[in-house]
Amino acid sequence: MKERPGSSLHTDAQPLMSVGIDIGTTSTHLVFSLLTLTNRSLSTQIPHMVVSERQVIYQSPIYFTPLQAEGVIDATGVKGIFEEEYAKAGVNAGDIACGAVIITGETARLRNAREVLHEISNLAGDFVAASAGPLLESVFAARGSGAAQYSHETGKTVCNIDIGGGTTNVATFKDGHLIEASCLRIGSRCIRLSAEGRIVECSQSGKYLLSRFPAASEDDVSLPLLGRFIAEIICRFVDYSQSEETDEFHHDCLLMGNRLSLENPIDQFWLSGGVAELIKGEMSDPLRFGDLGYFLAGGMKDAMEERSLPFHIPDSPIRATVLGAGSHSLQLSGCTVSLSEERLPIKGLPIVRPFASGNGPPIDGSPSQFHARLKACISSYASELEPVAIVLDCIEDINYAQLRLWADALAFALQETELPEPYVLIMPGDAAMALGQLLRGRLNDRAIITLDGLNLEIGDYIDIGRPLGASGTIPVTLKSLIFSK
């Protein structure tokens, strides 16, 4: 940043403790990171706080996810693991300022996933998102592996493929911005093996994959060929140049979310997750983990090389998701905010976007159109008697007179729908404080929180924390609370 004459950069910095907890199909582990919050603005400007540095200060061993006999997550066992790891690291729940607890892969489909999150909630600290959505997992993995940052630094289009025990999560970034993400129910443990290499158990997706595999019976299956067969399915899913229209991607057993559009040629693929760890390392016993991981890793490497798809495996690929959850779930809303601090923190606010594309014609700026669209949107949530976070995509590059007109329409709509307080509004630019002041003049003593400077590329809900120290910056976490049935 170039300094203007007579100005200087702020040098104040603030440390934050972050945690990433991943309870996956195969593995469970956590990472503690120390984030440095720095003011990047000039001394004559409004403070602009960013996370300038991340230092991993503790990584737990990678545990097998404890399951009960009936296949559900052993909540007590999981809690015991994390209590022991917190003690080893010398960290208390109150030390945690941000981060995420995520239940990933096929474990997110288990009926007691919510109960597990409740069991370990006392370890989460004051401001941690509990998330279990395949789309969010894909983004976390791409950020934790470094693929998203590499895309930002180089301007390239990078596709991160994270293959774990239960799912394959895919996220594509261009110039550092998320383009699309999706997920397949394909992973190393969709087919379980005995110590002798025989198939002993299959998930629903594993049974479907075997039904497509040309073998006389399960006893005649060549495991290297099966690994390559499944790797080919993954490659066809992500490779725009050789993708074929087949029903295997659309089958309910495999696809979670939308199929990739494949409209953006990929400059480089990054591989993360447990299978990438096996590609990178050496394992003398291919049946050590009792699953298809070793064979899927070999098949994936051969399939990528045969297709001449450029790929990169980062350091510690198995920890990509947990690193992404702990360090990249946090966003910061700057000092141009307006808030009722006594209402903070707030967790699990649904995000509504009445002005997003697909929700009606573009806003022409008229107060009547603004009012009608907003009222129709928030009225659908008022019956649930819960606050929502309203994203005001339309309020951008406007003058004060226009902001006053829209504040009038917004205040009327909020009162008419009887939406529960606090009223939370998120807008682009840096006009949140002005909008908040205008609304307070119209809504008397109502609790109002207006935020700006957030990138809402993904996330169904948000958590809003208390202001951070003297900077007054508001920490916000975008999250998904999707538990598959």
Residue-wise pLDDT for 462-471, tens only, equals: 888 888 766 6
Query: Contact, 231 vs 299, CB < 8 A?
Result: yes
For the segment 319-344, what is each residue's pLDDT rounded down to a tens digit?
A: 998 888 776 667 777 555 667 777 88
Count the neighbouring beta carbons within 10 Å of the beta carbon of residue 200.
12
If one compares 80 and 242, the residue with the highest pLDDT of the two is: 80
DSSP 316: S
Distance CA 129, CA 147 (A): 22
Residue from 325, 315, 319, 331 nearest 150 by CA: 315
pLDDT score recorded for residue 145:
95
Domain extents in the chain: 13-133, 147-313, 335-452
DSSP 24: -
For the segment 38-90, what is each residue's pLDDT rounded down to a tens digit?
A: 766 555 445 556 677 888 999 999 999 998 877 788 989 999 999 999 999 99
CATH topology of domain 147-313: Nucleotidyltransferase; domain 5 (3.30.420)
Whether pLDDT at 6 is above 50: no
Handedness of CA 387, 393, 399, 401 (dihedral sign): negative
Residue 2 binned pLDDT confidence (cut-offs 50, 70, 90)? very low
Handedness of CA 245, 247, 248, 251 (dihedral sign): positive
Residue from 407, 352, 360, 395 nearest 377 by CA: 352
pLDDT score recorded for residue 469:
65
To the nearest whole percent, how much of the chain has pLDDT over 70?
Answer: 80
> DSSP H helical segments within 63-146, as ranges?
75-89, 113-119, 134-145
Q: What are phi and psi of 63, to 5 degrees?
A: -100, 150
Whether pLDDT at 101 is above 60: yes
To the nearest whole percent, how much of the chain has pLDDT over 90?
Answer: 31
Whether pLDDT at 383 is above 60: no
- Range with the largest mean pLDDT of 163-177, 277-291, 411-425: 163-177
pLDDT score recorded for residue 397:
65
The alpha carbon of residue 57 and the mean position of all alpha carbons in its chain are separated, in whole angstroms, by 22
Q: To which residue do tokens 């998102």 refer? A: 129
Lowest average pLDDT, out of 157-171, 194-208, 243-257, 282-296, goes to 243-257
Whether pLDDT at 450 is above 70: yes
Residue 312 binned pLDDT confidence (cut-offs 50, 70, 90)? very high
Whether pLDDT at 308 is above 90: yes
Q: Is 300 exposed, middle or buried (0-12, 13-18, 19+ CB in 10 A)?
A: buried
Lowest average pLDDT, out of 141-155, 304-318, 336-350, 366-380, goes to 366-380
Contact partners, residue 372, CB within 8 Å, separation at least 6: none
Lowest average pLDDT, out of 60-64, 110-114, 216-220, 248-252, goes to 248-252
pLDDT score recorded for residue 1:
33
The alpha carbon of residue 485 and the mean position of all alpha carbons in its chain are separated, in whole angstroms, by 19
Residue 53, amino acid: E
Average pLDDT, the chain: 81
If one compares 109 and 160, the residue with the highest pLDDT of the two is: 160
pLDDT score recorded for residue 40:
63
User: What's the average model confidence in pLDDT over 236-265?
Assistant: 71
Whether pLDDT at 244 is above 60: no
Termini Cα distance of the chain:
49
Query: Contact, 21 vs 144, CB < 8 A?
Result: no
Residue 4 binned pLDDT confidence (cut-offs 50, 70, 90)? very low
If one compares 474 and 279, the residue with the highest pLDDT of the two is: 279
Query: Contact, 469 vs 449, CB < 8 A?
Result: no
If one compares 216 and 1, the residue with the highest pLDDT of the two is: 216
User: What's the average model confidence in pLDDT over 425-444?
Assistant: 85
Cis peptide before 422 (omega within 30 of 0): yes
pLDDT score recorded for residue 484:
40
Query: Contact, 50 vs 40, CB < 8 A?
Result: yes
Distance CA 176, CA 188 (A): 29
Lowest average pLDDT, out of 293-307, 375-389, 407-421, goes to 375-389
User: What's the average model confidence in pLDDT over 353-371?
Assistant: 66
User: What's the average model confidence in pLDDT over 355-383?
Assistant: 65
SS3 of 351, please? Answer: strand
pLDDT score recorded for residue 409:
81
Confirm whether 13-133 and 147-313 share one CATH topology: yes
What are the DSSP calls for 331-350, one per residue?
Answer: EEE-SS-B--GGG--EEEEE
Residue 206, amino acid: G
Q: To which residue do tokens 């040098």 refer? A: 11
Whether pLDDT at 455 is above 60: yes
Residues 455-482 as b/e (b if ≥16 CB within 10 A, e otherwise) read ebebbbbbbbbebbeebbbbbbbbbbbb
Distance CA 454, CA 462 (A): 11
pLDDT score recorded for residue 378:
67
Query: Contact, 449 vs 340, CB < 8 A?
Result: yes
Homologous superfamily, domain 13-133? ATPase, nucleotide binding domain (3.30.420.40)
Distance CA 319, CA 126 (A): 24
